[in-house]
Every structure is written in C-alpha cells, then in structure tokens.
Structure 1
Amino acid sequence: MEIDNGQPVVRLQAGKARGQLREGVAVFRGLPYGQRVDATSRLSDLKATAPWQGEFDATQLPAVFPQSRSRLALVMGEGIKDNPQSEDAFVVNVWAPAKAESLPVLFFVHGGAFVSGGGSAPWYDGERLAREEGIVVVTVNYRLGALGHLSPQTEPHGANRPVRDLLQALRWVQENISAFGGNADQVTVGGQSAGAWYAWLLGLSPASRGLLHRNILMSLPRLPPMTLEEMHALGRLFSEVSGEISIDGALTVEQVLVGQAKVMQSAAAFGDVSASFRPASEDSVVPSWMFDIPEAARNCHVSETLLGSTAEENASFFFRSEEALAASEQKVRGWFEKTFGTDADAVYERCANKRPGHTPYTQLVDASSELMFGRIVPEIAQAISLNGRGAYAYSFNVASGLPNLMSPHCMELPFLFGNRMDWADAPMLTGVSEQVFEDVGRQMRQAVGGFVRGGVPRDPSGADWPRWSEHQRVLTEITQGGVRRLPFVE
C-alpha cells in the first residue's frame, strides 16, 4: 500500500484502487470480490472480478443486496437506509492501519436473519477496531432472502448462493489482502447471528478449508440447514404467494421482496423466532450434520473459537409485541409445553429461579433465548475442547434503558465497532452513558483483538481469558462494571 496525495492506493489482482486515510487507517469501500458467471441470471455463481482500467474509486458508500426494512429496526435503528441497493453488491470493505505489515485479518460477516443487512452498512465501520487493535478488518455483502436461497425444483442441491458468495470473498482475501498489509495465513472469520451461522459453517465445511484459521460466533442461532424437501416446499410456497414459478424470471426486485415477506409472515407463531430462508444441506459445502455438535467439532478445521450470546437475546423480537408483553402465565406455560414437552415444568422453574421477580414475559424471553442462542455456547465449547482445540466462551450482559429490552440480540455490535455515531438512532442504546459505552467497548475490542492476533481473548487489564476445558468450564461475562468469570452450571 502506498500513500499518494494523502490517499492510500493499493494494487489488486483486478487493478488499482484508491481509498481514504482517516487518522492513520486506510479505508477502502465497495471493492468488488466477484461477478456473476452469467450476468443475465440471478441464480449465477460467481467468478473473479474482471480487470478494470485506471483506478477504482473506493471512497463511496457502497450498495447492499435488495432487502426490506429489518424487523429489528426498532432495536438497531435505520443505519442501512442510506445505502443504495443492488443485485450486484458483491463487494468487500477494508480498514487497515496505514503502515500495516502482515497483520492478522478479521473477516466479519453481518447478521440479519438471512434476509437483511450488509457489510457495507455504516454499522460495521471497522476503522476504530483496526486502529486500536492493530488488525485488518474486512466486511462483506452476500445475497439475501429469496434471491439467495430459492432454486429450481430440478436443482440437485440447495441454491446456497450466499455460501458461495462468502467462499468467493474469502478467496479474494487470500489473493489480495497482502496489498493492504494483511496476512492471508492469519484470517479469523467472525459473525453475528446469521453471520455467526456462516462463521460456524465456514469453520467446518470442506469447501472452506484453508481459507480461515479461527472463528468468532456472536449469537449463533441453533438452526439446522434446510433439507432439500424443505427448500423445495419453501419454493412452492413462494410461487403460490408471488404467482411466478421461478425468481429468475419476470419478477421485479420489489415483487420478490413482497413475496418473501408473505412467506415469512406465514411462518410466524407465538414465542417463535422464524427464519424461513436459510441455506440447505449440500455435500461438501453445507454439511447436514453442522448442528450435530460432536460431529461438527470433530470436523472443525479452525484452531480456536470464541463464542457467546447476550443475556436476553430474544427480547429484541418480543419487547414491542403486545401479545408477548400481555401474555398470561397460562399462555406462556402452553408455549413451554409445546416447546419442551415433558421437561416443560422443570425448564419453567429453572428460568424462574434465575430471575427474582420474573413475569410470564421474562419467562418467555429467558427460555426462548436459551433454546435459540444460549445453550449452544457451552455445547460447542465443550465439544471443541474435547477435540483438542481452543474454545473461549462469553456472555454479554449490558442492558438497554428501554423497558422490557434488557440485554438483547445485537446489543454487543456498537460496542465492538465503537462507532456510536453510526448507531445514533439505535433505540437499544437508550440510557447507555458515554462512559459505559467506552468501558464496555474497550472490553469487547480488546477481547476480539487479542483473539484475532493470537487466538486468546484478553481483558483490558491484559489478563488472558480462561480457555474452556472439561475441568474449567468458565464463561467470561462482559458487563458495564467490568469482566467477571462465571463457572458454567448445568
């Protein structure tokens, strides 16, 4: 990387690109990592980007893939509203210290329930993380919703276009990251929510072997990949509500998004957090066993994993729901019985004992959060450690000032990136003082930075986090009062 007239310039395999220099960090936005093999087909796989002439302008706000307003806008705000939308938003964004030389890389995959979000959103600005932790930060877009996951009935495997997008982006990193001063042999794939799902997949899929070396799983949802039968049933449902057999035909983007919304609404049920669109099982790409945790841990090809969840994940989905807030104990117990069967009473009492002053609403939040996001953390940590790899587990417990929101899904993100202005309209940060934001952010960034650099997260004091083992099953709790070690109790 060279500095020309005060701006960073890199030479990539496809050509030169010019970015911006911001307080010692080189910023490149919207760099193409691939293009469609068949430019006329929405279903096309990708190939390497064709070379361009002159210099690529990497200073503009890049596009994200087509999407509707997120169901979590009431939590996260409208931080993506200014990004243009495009079906060809195959881009990465890079932040690197201006004098970087062979620095480790964090490749961050955004969440959004497989249907929204984008690595190009200002939410995921990696400038502060790169500067403070001395790492190269890369964010990425991938195809979403029906445009990413539906495929013809005749296709022998799942569409899995987002997975292939991410694989292409990781190959781009291998081929180009040295131009920014990054080390292609030290790549950590991190992600939150759906992004954590992909980070978990990429750490065990044969198709990604050699493309990453560690992974970070922030709020990994327990969602097995769709079977082919489920994927084809989803396709038939989409055809019924949209009136078209294939998305690769006459439907406009707007019509696809309307049909997608109808499909998602049909899956909604009390107490459930649905994810209608997601990847399907495919040999050597998306293993059917990826949520058979012991099997997945045996096949994991990363050396270390950092993983955790927020204290009340599902409050994000329920805190504005009158049905959830006003639910009677009888209704909530009915959900417990449907969900946990013969264990319903025991789970209900366990949740009640953990929270003095519990209500039917908090019981629903606590049990559904544990089921979807919480319990899988110690399961994976234990399985990975038994297979001789490093695992570090955490719980993020910083509460929003909004009633009934507590410490919800997505709460850790602004603290990690440290860019409060880009989250200025995020309701979840209501009541969080600047001092708390800075103190907790320092905990998050130093933990992640230490892990990316050396495979061990660290406290602000410099202390290493305890590594999970059969004899030391400890979660590190991140709070506004500092970090605490919590022995895991079954």
Structure 2
Amino acid sequence: MLDSLLGPALGELVQQEDAFTLRVQAPTGADGLPVVFFIPGGGFTTGSGESRWYESPTFVHDARIVLVTVNYRLGVSGHFGPLGDPAESTKPVRDLQAALEWVRENISSFGGDPGRITIAGDSAGAWYAYALSTDPRMRGLAARTLLISMPRLAPLPVDIWLRHRAAVIDAVGSETSLLTAPVGALLAAQGRARAGLQAFPYMPAESQETPSDLARYASSAQRIHTDAVLLITTAEESAGFLRNQPRADYSKADVERFIERTFTDPASVAAFLQADDDPDAYLCMVRAATLAQFRTSALEIATNAPVSAQVVRLDHRSKLEAAYAPHCFVLPFIFGDVAQWRDSPMLDGASMSESARVTVAMRKLVTDFVYRGVTTSDRFDPLTPQTLSLDADGIRLEPALEAGLGVRETDSK
C-alpha cells in the first residue's frame, strides 16, 4: 500500500523464511556509544531491517551512535501455527526479544554501550517497541523508547484471530502446511485469505506478551519500564493510506459520520478540525483519521507514562500530490542519505535546502534523546499539554489543542 510513497526498495530483497538476522552500523573508533535498536514497520506483513532505507552512514557518523536494524517473522509465518494456540501469534515478539538480548550481550564488541540502548520502531515496528517497553519481563533490556508513527491497534481478540487462522488454513490446505508449505505457497495463501478479512489480519492476538489492554493507554502506559519516551507523528499520517482512493470520492458527510462513530466528543473534534486553511473533505478525513489512529495515541501515552515523555509532530510536507506529511515521512530525515532514498516518490520535487534543514533538526532531536532522554523544559505536562512542531524552519513548542479528545473503544467482532 505504501510503495507509492516509499518506492521499490523492499522489492529488491530476496524473500526467505530465515528472519533471524540484524545489521549493526557503527562509526569508526566507536567505543561506549549509545545504541539505537530499530524495528522497521510494514503492517505486520512486510518490511526488513536490511533495506537500503536504513543504510545510514551519515547518521551513524554524525550522531556518534551504533545503529542496529532488526528483522522478525512476518505475516502467516509470524502469527499462525499448527496448534491454534494464541502464543503462536507472538513469534515476532520473541524474535525481537532474542535480538534485543543478543544486542545487550554483544554490542560492546561493536563499540556500543549495553546500558544505553534505545528501543525504537516505526509503525508496526513502533507497536512492537511499545509492547516490549511495557512488558515487565523485558525490564532492563533497554534504557529509552522511541516510537515513530505508532498506530492505535489492539491485539486481535482470540476468536477473531482463530477466524483469520481458519481462513489461512483453508487457503494453504491444512494445519500442517503452516509449517511445511514452501515460502511461495504460504505467501500465495496469505494473499488469498486476506481478501475477506479485516484490516491487519496478520498480527498478534491477545496473550501474555500482547495483553488485551495494550491499546488502552491509560492502563498500558503505566507499565513503561524504560526511563524516557519520545513519540513522533506526522501532521497527516493517514494520507499515506487514503490517497490511494480518488480525492473526489470523499464528502463532508463521510467525514461527519467518521467523526461521530470514532470520537467520544464529535462536536469538539469537528471544531478542532476546522483549520485556517479551509480543508476539503479529503483533507478533513485525512486529519480526522490521523487524529484517531496516531496523534491521540501519542498524547495518551505521554499523558499516562510514569516517566518523562516528549511528543513531536512533523509538519514538513511532501510535494507529492495529496501526500502532505504522510505515514513514514519521518524516516528519510532520520536514516536517509540521498542514494538510499533516491526513488522514493514522497521526496519527488523536494527542496534540497529544506530537506537538509529538516534532516538536521530531526537528527538533532533524536540524537539528543538517545544521549540525554527528555529535558525538563520539553517534558510533556498533562496539566498544560504542549508538543514540539518540526519543519524546515526549526522546532517550536506549541499548545497541544487536541489533548483530551477521546476515541471510542470499538468492538473488533
């Protein structure tokens, strides 16, 4: 879905079942440097820490960090098994735990400090980073948490997960085929089964590792065991998904219905979305969906975290038609060098000078967090909520006017 924004880099990689690899990048002469353990996203079905998107020599050199990008099992192979036990849905969590433990034990050999690991992720990778950061069994493995574009997604209720599993078994032929079928057959079955299922059908079910309250942040954020949290969203995350439908297909009535069924106080949300730029129905829908799925999640986590938190919004916009500041737009400004992101449509027509300024600001923000956590002056205060806004003109502290806007709990069934 996001190839039209990100480009074809993932398609250059060979698909295989062996997910137990990670890549370590460190500057020359590294010794005792902070570590960023980055979990890539991909909707729980795609993504790779070995993509060229994360080849980041300039970031690693200039920031003086050790960067670890990690793989984990995906899709059908990551979330189903022959026993029908919900624990089979959390194989990616255990992959990531094993990788994090390996990094903790071995990263000093690469010049990293095992006591200064920031666990980070984007999108589904942020979802896993949050799950690990709130699991008390993971306490002590990481010092800080960086969540980029984390979606509001609850683990699947077990009955829904079993329904998805049954659809996959029908497509692949048998329960044992979940273990024995060739990669190509599994991928084909994954595609066939997905057509009749809800969004994100291949993700963890409710379990000890991914508890049912994970997306109820008033509860789960209380369990954060790292010492600081940085949450980054973009101004129009949901444009990454909604722009695939013709702009003219959206109407004000669609927006009103979405707001009514999604938020606890629809009138306040409608008033908040009436921005000075007089958005059309498409842009209103993008902003409403972004508020529901991404922005309120970040604010709720910051409000309820027992540790210092900081919330940032990227307001720099893409020149790509109807993209605005979409999902994943943060990534090139942290990890990217020109060659690695050369064919990313969301950077088409970008001003080199503006991109450079955004990159400098974003990398400084992340580097400062990795080294020092959250400073007192920028700490999110639920009583007087303010967040940071970042664009080509720099970083500003602004009132978080959307703080307190609530999202209804939905019935996944």
Please tell me whether residue 376 in structure 1 is matched to residue 297 in structure 2: yes
Amino acid at match of 2:374: V
Change (3 A) 1:275 1:156: closer
Partner of 1:401: 319
SS at match of 2:129: helix
Structure-2 residue corresponding to 1:17:
none
Q: Is 2:54–2:336's contact at 8 Å kept on the other side of the alignment?
A: no
User: What is the deviation of 1:403?
Assistant: 1.5
Gaps of 5+ in 1: 1-70, 269-273, 458-463
Counterpart of 2:301, as a letter, is I
Q: State the distance in 1 between where 2:58 and 2:19 align.
A: 24
Structure 2 counterpart of 1:182, one-letter code: G
Q: What is the aligned partner in structure 2 of residue 469 from structure 1?
A: 381
Larger radius of gyration: 1
* Contact 1:318–1:325 (CA under 8 A) maintained in structure 2: no
Tell me if the contact between 1:309 and 1:373 (Cα under 8 Å) persists in the aligned partners: yes
**Is the contact between residue 86 and residue 205 of structure 2 (CA under 8 Å) also seen in structure 1?**
no
Q: Tell me, yes or no, if the aligned pair for 1:216 and 1:306 is still in contact at 8 Å.
A: yes
Q: 1 CA distance for matches of 2:180 and 2:98? A: 28
In structure 2, what is the Cα distance between the partners aligned to 1:325 and 1:174?
51
Question: In structure 1, how many angstroms separate the alpha carbons of the residues matched to 2:289 and 2:175?
Answer: 35
The answer to whether the Cα contact below 8 Å between 1:241 and 1:259 also exists between their aligned partners in 2 is yes
1:160 alignment partner, SS class: helix
The reply to whether residue 280 of structure 1 matches residue 205 of structure 2 is yes
Residue 456 in structure 1 maps to residue 378 in structure 2: no
- Counterpart pick for 1:347 among 250, 269, 276: 269
Shift of 1:125: 1.4
The answer as to 2:208 corresponding to 1:241 is no
Superposed CA deviations along residues 410-430 of structure 1, whole A, max 9, x for unmatched, are 011001113121111111012
2:408 corresponds to: none
Secondary structure of residue in 2 paired with 1:354: coil
State the shift of 1:168 in Å.
Answer: 0.6
Q: CA offset at residue 246 of structure 1?
A: 4.3
CA contact (8 A) 1:263 1:276 kept: no
Question: Following the alignment from structure 1 to structure 2, what is the Cα–Cα distance between the partners of residues 455 and 344?
Answer: 36
When the two chains are superposed, the root-mean-square deviation of aligned CA atoms in Å is: 1.9
SS of match in other structure, 2:378: coil
1:81-230 counterparts in 2 under 5 A?
Answer: 81-155=11-85, 157-230=87-160
Superposed displacement of residue 128, structure 1: 1.7
**5+ residue gaps, structure 2:** 404-413
Q: Per-residue deviation at 1:119?
A: 0.4
CA deviation after TM superposition for structure 1 residue 93, in Å: 0.6
Classify the secondary structure of the residue corresponding to 2:371.
helix
Segment drifting more, 294-303 vs 138-147: 294-303
Separation of aligned partners in 2, 1:247 and 1:419: 42
Match of 1:436 among 351, 354, 361: 354
Conserved 8 A contact 1:126-1:138 = no
Q: Deviations over 1:11-33 (max 9, x none)?
A: xxxxxxxxxxxxxxxxxxxxxxx
**Cα distance, 1:154 vs. partner?**
4.0
Distance 1:402 1:155 in 2: 44
For 1:119, give the aligned amino acid.
Answer: G
User: Could you say if the C-alpha distance between residues 480 and 281 of structure 1 is closer, same or farther in structure 2, counting changes exceeding 3 Å?
Assistant: same
For residues 325 and 162 of structure 1, what CA distance do their matches in structure 2 show? 39
Answer yes or no: is the 8 Å Cα contact 1:72–1:317 preserved in 2.
yes
Counterpart-to-counterpart distance in 1, 2:188 and 2:271: 42
Pairwise CA distance, 1:393: 0.7
Partner residue in 1 for 2:250: 327
Q: Distance in 2 between matches of 1:465 and 1:73?
A: 38
Counterpart CA distance in 2 for 1:313 and 1:259 is 30
Shift of 1:377: 1.2
Give the drift of 1:380: 0.9
Task: Give the CA deviation at 1:257.
Answer: 1.6
What's 1:19 paired with? Answer: none
Is the Cα contact below 8 Å between 2:80 and 2:178 reproduced in 1? no
Distance 1:470 1:328, change over 3 A: closer
Match of 2:215 among 284, 291, 294: 291
Conserved in 2, the CA contact under 8 Å of 1:226 and 1:281? yes
Do 2:39 and 2:126's aligned partners in 1 also have CA atoms closer than 8 Å? yes
Amino acid at match of 2:277: P
Contact persistence 1:348–1:363 (CA under 8 A): no
What SS does structure 2 have at the residue aligned with 1:119? coil
Query: Is the Cα contact below 8 Å between 2:58 and 2:337 reproduced in 1?
Result: yes
TM-score, normalising length from structure 1?
A: 0.78
- Equivalent position SS for 1:432: coil
Bigger share in helix: 2
Q: Equivalent residue of 1:104, what SS?
A: strand
Q: Is the 8 A contact 2:358 2:390 kept in 1?
A: yes
The residue aligned with 1:356 is 277
Structure 1 residues 437 and 148, CA, compared in 2 at 3 Å: closer, same or farther? same
- Of 465-474 and 203-212, more deviation after overlay is shown by 465-474
Shift of 1:212: 0.7
SS in 1 for 2:17: coil
Deviates more, 1:466-475 or 1:91-100: 466-475
CA deviation map 1:252-290 (0-9, x unaligned): 22222222223333246xxxxx2111112222x222222
Residue type of the alignment partner of 2:303? Q
CA separation of 1:125 and 1:393: change in aligned 2, threshold 3 A: same
Aligned to 2:406: none
Q: Is the 8 A contact 1:158 1:281 kept in 2?
A: no
> TM (normalized to structure 2)?
0.92
